[in-house]
Chain A
Amino acid sequence: MSAMKDTDAKVAIYRAIEDWRAGRISRRKMLGVLAAAGVALTSRPMLRRSAPSVSAATLQEAAATQPEEIVAFLRDVGGQFRGTTIRVVSEETPPSRAIINLKKEMFEDITGITVNWEVVPLDQVLAKVSQDAASKLGANDIYYFDQAWVGRFINDTYDPRELLDQKPDLAMPNYNIEDFLEPLVRHIAMYGDKMIGFPCDVPIFMYFYRKDIYDELGLQPATTMEEYLENARIINEAKSGEGTYGTVGQMKSGHYALECDMTAYVWSHGGSVFTADGKCALADDFAIQGVEYMRQLQQYMPTAVTTYDWGGQFTAIQQGQGGQVITWGENFPGWDDPANSKVSGLMEPAPLPANTAQRPPEECGFEEHPDLGHQGGSTYCLSRYSKNADAAWIFLQWATCSNTQTMASIIGGGASPMRQSTFDDPRVKEAAQVGVAGTTRHFPEMYNVIMNRMGTEPHLPQWPLIANDIIAVELGKLTTSDDPTGPAMVEIAKKVDEAASS
């Protein structure tokens, strides 16, 4: 059924009814076909965001190319823990999906360690990890942490640098921790001078545009925020009648995605969430200007945008609803996938437009780093309460080593590289083709954003409450009304200050 396309399902419904009317099949059989086809049609939009399945041949090929020194390490060192079961909890992200696909042939079969990997929505990851950390029972051995949570959980994991030093007998040869891109380690995996885990994923805001529409309308990739807004207006005027809007946001009320969009535009207009003294700055002129800009852009988006989280935005672009967008770079391979996308080969990455103004990081609080390239990176971390810490440590090294990261980037699904060696790998460069699933042709621009334009949210223990609830809900009220921006931002700032001081 998963292979059934929309057209197949519709044809199946038509044929089943015809056959039943002609007496060729029973009513029960007809209802069975209708139910199956109905499920296929209604579930397809949900499944679209999923990473493409990887063929057995690809996985075997990947396993065959695993370097011998890694295989030997897994067999000799990992093999000591044969029969152990470790548990991982993570969000459904491209790298997580890729590693889940790879782990059997490349890890479990060699070590004899079983990896039970539970994939749940991000808010449930937070709930499970919080519960685990509070109870200290070690229900999970490896945690997946969004970068926004590092402040909250910094004491609940092992610092991987210490593990590499303290357990040389369990250290993977040539693991090379220095190979991780320095800005990723600093922005995603560090809290103060402590490292919470290894970076595993970096969805980061990039600028993408529809080359066919830009060419048709004589537009150039925007170099300033004003030009970006103007391009959105022009596309919207010319194309919205055909179902292609100026741009598409992720503006679902009450969802963290909305907060991510907001911070990017606040940062690109010289604002920040906090000032250096820890006070909320969302009510100052820069922040209000940024939110006003986002609301101006909203005029050039489909009306359904207030129901789109990142998945909704991804699907909308995939269906050809947007002429340009600033959003997560990991979406790009899915848009280039000819089997599922209407815009395969039509989207192009471009450098992010320059900020209108930019507040220096030293004027912000809680390690916030303003810039348009909002990152939503995450880490895999070894739980301090793990009962199988050694086996889990070996898995963690394998999952984040250069070879596995490279394989995850090229087997399709959109995983983003964490390591310099992955960006430089010939296999990754070879996959940079136009209009194919799992393309890596956006990687050079992604590298540029990581190194030069990365924006990072504040790190404080109360941030999940502030970002996922206070800002997301209050901003949701604003973006679905005609209320003036200023008073609403004053209200948000008041609530953020209350939460931050609690």
Chain B
Amino acid sequence: MTNADPMTGIERRAGREAVLRRSPFWALGRVINSERPWPWIAPVVILLLGIGLYPFIYNIRNSFREFNPMTGNVEPVGLENWRRLLQDDRLHGAFLTSAKYVLAALVIEFVLGLAIAVLLNSGPAISGLWQSLMILPMVVPPTVAAVMFRVLENPDYGALQWLLEGVGLIDKQEPLLGGTGRYAMAAVLIPEIWQWTPFFVLILLAGLKALPQDPLEAAQVDGAGAWRQFWDITLPMLRPMIAVAVLFRLVDLLKVFDYIFVLTSGGPGTRTEVLSFYAYQRSFVTIEWGYGSVLGIVILVLAIVLANVYVRVFKVAW
């Protein structure tokens, strides 16, 4: 008998592969068996680009157009919206208000957070319970927290107002919310600090717990006091943790909106009008979408620049 099949083994394999190539599962098999990373990450990259990049590009396009209430149409305006940036006194005021807000919140939250973290790290018996409770404010949506504080700070029946009146810090004529608005900035900072100081506490506490004990024990042997140990050893070693926490909060604080919207609506006048609230006002109250887009881009650029300056100035090493 002779072999009737004229095809070699190689030809048979090539034939099978050609059939497989026509199968819809062939490409999927190639991806699954691939050792290269791009087929795996490509879908996510495309998705993220779609979600992140498209609105950004749309915003840039929008910044060169403006809604015209007379015609009811969005019309091209060239660089007009960008020129307006330089002449807008209210924007400059909002910029200063944002700076005050960010600085005050960051300093207070950091100092309080560090103090509480050190206290909890010193090991009181119920520190575990406190650590759990610390998470609670952070899981409350900021808008809900703001509404809660609107009740607490109410000049007529607010518990916080009553407490501060009791210790003589404020009076009925000049309450936290209302009156001439002297304490309006404090009124919006209070929920901010209540909600986000625990963020510092948790990060710094984790850092404190992870610090090596040898340098501290050596300093003790050398006779360094508690303050000296903290200032010269603990704090420098904690620097990477501090850097991360401050950077996260800095970027977040630039976007603050909820507390302002619920508690003061930027007022009285423009006293608590921060950049993001001003951008909201332009976009959705006065329906100046183009200028609102410009302000959105400004906030984004500001966050990127500040974050980079911070990383370089403070020599943040990850």
* A→B interface (CB under 8 Å): 42-43, 45-46, 123-124, 126-127, 130, 133-134, 152-153, 155-156, 243, 252-255, 302-307, 319, 321, 461-462, 464-465, 468-469, 473-474, 476-477, 479-482
B147: Cβ under 8 A from any A Cβ: yes
Complex: how many Å from CA A477 to CA B175? 17
Closest 4 CB pairs of A and B: A253-B267, A477-B269, A480-B268, A304-B178
Which of A305, A462, A473 contacts B267, CB < 8 Å?
A473
| Closest-CB distance, A145 to chain B (whole angstroms) | 13
Asked if residues A155 and B72 are in contact (CB atoms below 8 Å), the reply is: yes
Contacts of A255 in B (CB 8 A): 265
B172: Cβ under 8 A from any A Cβ: yes
Complex: how many Å from CA A243 to CA B285? 35
Contacts of B73 in A (CB 8 A): 134
Contacts of A130 in B (CB 8 A): 67, 287
Which of A46, A127, A254, A305 contacts B287, CB < 8 Å?
A127
Instruction: Render B63-79 as a binary contact track against A, CB cut-off 8 A, 1 for contact.
Output: 00001011011100000
B155: Cβ under 8 A from any A Cβ: yes
Residue of B nearest to A474 (CB): B269
Complex: how many Å from CA A203 to CA B18? 76
Given known A152-B69, A302-B156, contact A123–B284 (CB-CB < 8 A): yes
Most chain A beta-carbon contacts within 10 A, residue among B155, B172, B175, B286: B286
Which of B70, B156, B181 contacts A480, CB < 8 Å?
B181
Instruction: Render B284-305 as a binary contact track against A, CB cut-off 8 A, 1 for contact.
Output: 1111100000000000000000
Asked if residues A254 and B147 are in contact (CB atoms below 8 Å), the reply is: no
B270: Cβ under 8 A from any A Cβ: yes
B173: Cβ under 8 A from any A Cβ: yes
Complex: how many Å from CA A471 to CA B157? 30
B151: Cβ under 8 A from any A Cβ: yes
| Closest-CB distance, A20 to chain B (whole angstroms) | 14
Given known A153-B72, A304-B175, contact A464–B268 (CB-CB < 8 A): no
Contacts of B69 in A (CB 8 A): 152, 461-462, 464-465
Asked if residues A42 and B287 are in contact (CB atoms below 8 Å), the reply is: no
Asked if residues A473 and B72 are in contact (CB atoms below 8 Å), the reply is: no
Asked if residues B147 and A43 are in contact (CB atoms below 8 Å), the reply is: yes
Asked if residues B286 and A464 are in contact (CB atoms below 8 Å), the reply is: yes
What is the total of A-B residue contacts with beta carbons within 8 Å? Answer: 111
Asked if residues B147 and A42 are in contact (CB atoms below 8 Å), the reply is: yes
Given known A303-B175, A304-B155, contact A461–B70 (CB-CB < 8 A): yes
Contacts of B156 in A (CB 8 A): 243, 302, 304, 319, 321
Residue of A nearest to B282 (CB): A469
Instruction: Render B259-295 as a binary contact track against A, CB cut-off 8 A, 1 for contact.
Output: 0000011111110000000000101111110000000
What are 25 pairs between A and B in contact, CB < 8 Å?
A42-B148, A46-B147, A126-B287, A134-B67, A134-B73, A134-B74, A152-B72, A153-B72, A303-B172, A303-B174, A304-B155, A306-B267, A307-B155, A307-B178, A321-B156, A461-B70, A462-B69, A464-B286, A468-B286, A469-B286, A474-B269, A477-B270, A480-B179, A480-B180, A480-B267
B154: Cβ under 8 A from any A Cβ: yes
Asked if residues A480 and B265 are in contact (CB atoms below 8 Å), the reply is: no
Complex: how many Å from CA A467 to CA B265? 15
Contacts of B281 in A (CB 8 A): 469
Most chain A beta-carbon contacts within 10 A, residue among B69, B72, B172: B69
| Closest-CB distance, B285 to chain A (whole angstroms) | 5
| Closest-CB distance, A459 to chain B (whole angstroms) | 12
Contacts of B265 in A (CB 8 A): 252-255
| Closest-CB distance, A127 to chain B (whole angstroms) | 4
Complex: how many Å from CA A134 to CA B173? 46
B105: Cβ under 8 A from any A Cβ: no
Most chain B beta-carbon contacts within 10 A, residue among A134, A468, A469: A134
Given known A468-B285, A469-B285, contact A305–B70 (CB-CB < 8 A): no
Instruction: Render B148-160 as a binary contact track against A, CB cut-off 8 A, 1 for contact.
Output: 1001001110000
Q: A307-B177, A464-B287, A480-B180 are in contact. List 13 more A-B contacts (CB 8 A).
A: A42-B151, A133-B72, A152-B72, A153-B72, A253-B268, A254-B269, A302-B178, A304-B154, A306-B179, A307-B264, A468-B286, A474-B269, A477-B269
Contacts of B269 in A (CB 8 A): 253-254, 473-474, 476-477, 480
Asked if residues B267 and A254 are in contact (CB atoms below 8 Å), the reply is: yes
Which of A45, A152, A468 contacts B151, CB < 8 Å?
A45
Residue of A nearest to B151 (CB): A42
Residue of B nearest to A134 (CB): B74
Of residues 240 to 273 in B, which have CB atoms within 8 Å of A's CB atoms? Answer: 264-270
| Closest-CB distance, B210 to chain A (whole angstroms) | 29
Asked if residues B178 and A124 are in contact (CB atoms below 8 Å), the reply is: no
Residue of B nearest to A43 (CB): B147
Instruction: Render B117-151 as a binary contact track against A, CB cut-off 8 A, 1 for contact.
Output: 00000000000000000000000000000011001
Complex: how many Å from CA A318 to CA B312? 57
Complex: how many Å from CA A155 to CA B69? 11
Which of B72, B266, B267 contacts A134, CB < 8 Å?
B72
| Closest-CB distance, A8 to chain B (whole angstroms) | 17
Residue of A nearest to B172 (CB): A303
Given known A254-B267, A473-B267, A476-B269, contact A306–B181 (CB-CB < 8 A): yes
